[in-house]
Amino acid sequence: MRTVALLGDEHVPALGQGTWMMGERSERRSAEIEALRVGVDLGMTLIDTAEMYGEGAAEELIGEALGSVRDQLFLVSKAYPQNASQARLAAACEASLRRLGTDRIDLYLLHWRGSVPLGETVEAMKALQSAGKIRHWGVSNLDTDDMEELLAVGGDGCAVDQILYNLTRRGPEHDLLPWLEARAMPVMAYSPVEQGRLLANKTLHSIAETIGATPAQVALAWTMRRSGVIAIPKAGTVAHVRENRAAVDLALSDDDLAALDAAFPPPRGRRPLEML
């Protein structure tokens, strides 16, 4: 599995597994558990979740599916903005730890920016780190100006920014991705197949057919083409997990990239960060 360097001293898989909408439907539960386990066996050991997902149901599913292989995992979870305060973050983290069935979260993120000052969230994250409850902390859905502010309030230990980034959401290429790259801070690209909507795109289909791959593989390989990008597709079936895993080994040629640029043009100017 290709890896991405985190804070200069640790390497995490460039392809992980998302879990939004998992653990919410009993009839899908066994397929989701199987999908997560196969993904881990295939090297997709970075698991992304959040206290928000099913109000804890996704974290519980991960605990059930992967508790026995905990030490192989790099677990990422996120706190609601209203919980990202000195008064509330420790309790939110404790609840996530309990649902996940573990004693530490590898990377704990502020899910999006709310009314708690960023400096207060940074202090609360550092306290959890000192207590050994989390190994690293980071943010999600923060645009370039928010990231500048984060650094100005002591947030230089931020490990990642998790953002919406895929072929149809290329805005971050204008300034946020270069800003993060200049600081060697990885990006976690969420909704890399635009929650499945991208896969119906006719141009993507024809490009995929030309190179003997599937639309999902092309979309994922494109997202991971920049070093420093970690893609976290959610797949609820073993077939999708296997298909997505193969995208790591798909090298897109300059011609492929040019065709994708023509179909999904890069931004010409600054665009505000989008979120789902």
Residues belonging to the active site: 53
Q: How far is the CB of 195 from ligand NAP (least distance, A)?
A: 4
List 108, 137, 190, 264, residue binding ligand NAP (CB under 6 A): 190
User: Which range of residues in 4-12, 174-182, 189-197, 263-271 is near ligand NAP by CB under 6 A?
Assistant: 189-197
Q: Indicate the residue among 54 and 192 with the shorter CB distance to ligand NAP.
A: 192
Q: What is the DSSP string of the chain?
A: --EEEETTTEEEESB-B--TTTTS-GGGHHHHHHHHHHHHHTT--EEE--TTGGGGHHHHHHHHHHGGGGGG-EEEEEE-GGG-STTTHHHHHHHHHHHHT-S-EEEEEE-S--SS-HHHHHHHHHHHHHTTSEEEEEEES--HHHHHHHHHTT-TT---EEEE-BTTB-GGGTTHHHHHHHTT--EEEESTTGGGGGGG-HHHHHHHHHHT--HHHHHHHHHTTSTTEEE-----SHHHHHHHHGGGG-PPPHHHHHHHHHHSPPPSS--PPP--
By CB under 6 A, residue 199 contacts ligand NAP: yes
> Per CB under 6 A, which of residues 120..149 are in contact with ligand NAP?
140-141
Contact 136, 159 (CB under 8 A): yes
List 67, 154, 178, 196, residue binding ligand NAP (CB under 6 A): 196
Q: Indicate the residue among 87 and 171 with the shorter CB distance to ligand NAP.
A: 171
Nearest to 1 by CA among 54, 39, 27: 39
Q: How far is the CB of 272 from ligand NAP (least distance, A)?
A: 15
Total of residues contacting ligand NAP (CB under 6 A): 28
> Per CB under 6 A, which of residues 45..64 are in contact with ligand NAP?
48
> What residues are paired with 110 via a beta bridge?
79, 139
Q: How far is the CB of 113 from ligand NAP (least distance, A)?
A: 11
> Per CB under 6 A, which of residues 82..121 are in contact with ligand NAP?
111
Q: Indicate the residue among 85 and 244 with the shorter CB distance to ligand NAP.
A: 244
List 195, 225, 263, 271, residue binding ligand NAP (CB under 6 A): 195
> Per CB under 6 A, which of residues 214..273 are in contact with ligand NAP?
216, 232-237, 240, 243-244
Q: Indicate the residue among 128 and 204 with the shorter CB distance to ligand NAP.
A: 204
List 45, 162, 201, 223, residue binding ligand NAP (CB under 6 A): 162
The contact mask relative to ligand NAP for 1-20 (x = CB under 6 A, - = no) is -----------------xxx
Contact 242, 41 (CB under 8 A): no
Contact footprint for ligand NAP (CB under 6 A): 18-20, 48, 111, 140-141, 162, 190-196, 199, 216, 232-237, 240, 243-244, 275-276
